[in-house]
């Protein structure tokens, strides 16, 4: 999929990218993450500059299972896992989630509709020594403005409010973010959906090149563009080695 060039980034898009800079060093183990959401001890909240209303995240019981409860009300904030992993060692992610509603004005192809009741971000580390000349200039400008390099790029798996028939949507604020509508529309609202993705394969399909090796993840529920409300649940997230 060809990506158009956008050099102006929205505040929320830039902040989502920059939260990656807060990550701690890489850890190596057989299963990188098997999060059952019995607590949020492994996660940290992330708030966006100039967005005063924050989404809420808590652990609770729903359908007899412990899960993350994400609530958004004309708000936006994220929960970030402050650890990195090598996506070639751990390319597969499986998770299970449910939303109680989608947004009437939600349309992720437009800035004014770029909200989702639930998202899972995978953010890839930028290496200036391996960057092209023009990308290096672009990233250096962002570093000067915000104090840190953003990631090289990001995949955003999300529940789209509008029914989607295409595999990838370029974020309306930034071509650094490609969005993957793994669920869309109202047809499965209120149902548990389980997704398994291979981030290496998805990255190659979305960006047309191999991904950088080091990544981090975050989850988010946002409604600051549409001004609406939503509630979502995540049962678990698992990041693990490819089964041979």
pTM of the model: 0.82
Element (H, E) at 217: strand 214-222
91: in domain: yes
6: in domain: no
Confidence band, pLDDT 50/70/90 cuts, at residue 176: confident
Residue 31: domain span: 11-240
212: in domain: yes
Q: Which one has a higher pLDDT value, 5 or 144?
A: 144
CATH code, domain carrying 129: 2.60.120.260
For the chain, the average pLDDT equals: 84
Confidence band, pLDDT 50/70/90 cuts, at residue 50: confident
Confidence band, pLDDT 50/70/90 cuts, at residue 7: very low
Q: What is the pLDDT of residue 48?
A: 86
Mean pLDDT over 12-18 rounds to 56
100: in domain: yes
Q: Does position 82 have pLDDT exceeding 80, yes or no?
A: yes
Q: What is the pLDDT of residue 3?
A: 35
Q: Does position 102 have pLDDT exceeding 90, yes or no?
A: yes
Confidence band, pLDDT 50/70/90 cuts, at residue 173: confident
Q: Which one has a higher pLDDT value, 24 or 83?
A: 83
**How many structural domains does the chain have?**
1
Q: Which one has a higher pLDDT value, 25 or 215?
A: 215
Q: Does position 152 have pLDDT exceeding 90, yes or no?
A: no
Q: What is the pLDDT of residue 115?
A: 96
Q: What is the pLDDT of residue 196?
A: 97
Rounded distance between C-alpha atoms, residue 109 and residue 168, angstroms: 10
59: in domain: yes
Of 222, 104, 102, the C-alpha closest to 156 is: 222
175: in domain: yes
Q: Which one has a higher pLDDT value, 170 or 147?
A: 170
Q: What is the pLDDT of residue 39?
A: 97
221: in domain: yes
77: in domain: yes
Mean pLDDT over 116-143 rounds to 69
DSSP string of 132-175, one letter each residue: -HHHHHHHHHHHHHHSSPPPSEEEEEEEESS---SS-EE-SS-T
Of 104, 194, 113, 211, the C-alpha closest to 157 is: 194
Q: Does position 26 have pLDDT exceeding 80, yes or no?
A: no
Q: What is the pLDDT of residue 237?
A: 98
């Amino acid at each position: 999929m060809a990506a158009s060039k956008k050099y102006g980034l929205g505040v929320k898009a830039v902040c989502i990218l920059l939260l990656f800079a807060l990550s701690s060093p890489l850890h190596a183990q057989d299963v990188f993450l098997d999060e059952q959401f019995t607590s949020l001890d492994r996660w940290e909240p992330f708030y966006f500059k100039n967005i005063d209303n924050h989404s809420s995240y808590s652990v609770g019981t729903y359908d007899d299972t412990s899960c993350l409860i994400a609530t958004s009300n004309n708000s936006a904030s994220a929960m970030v896992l402050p650890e990195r992993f090598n996506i070639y060692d751990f390319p597969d992610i499986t998770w299970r989630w449910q939303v109680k509603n989608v947004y009437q004005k939600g349309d992720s192809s437009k800035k004014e509709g770029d909200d989702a009741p639930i998202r899972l971000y995978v953010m890839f580390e930028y290496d200036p020594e391996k960057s092209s000349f023009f990308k290096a200039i672009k990233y250096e400008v962002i570093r000067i403005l915000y104090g840190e390099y953003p990631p090289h790029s990001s995949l955003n798996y999300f529940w789209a409010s509008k029914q989607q028939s295409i595999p990838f949507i370029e974020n309306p604020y930034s071509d650094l973010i490609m969005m993957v509508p793994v669920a869309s529309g109202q047809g499965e609202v209120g149902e548990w959906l389980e997704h398994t993705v291979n981030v290496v394969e998805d990255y190659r399909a979305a960006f047309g090149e191999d991904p950088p090796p080091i990544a981090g993840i975050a989850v988010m529920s946002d409604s600051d563009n549409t001004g609406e409300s939503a509630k979502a649940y995540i049962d678990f997230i698992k990041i693990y080695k490819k089964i041979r």
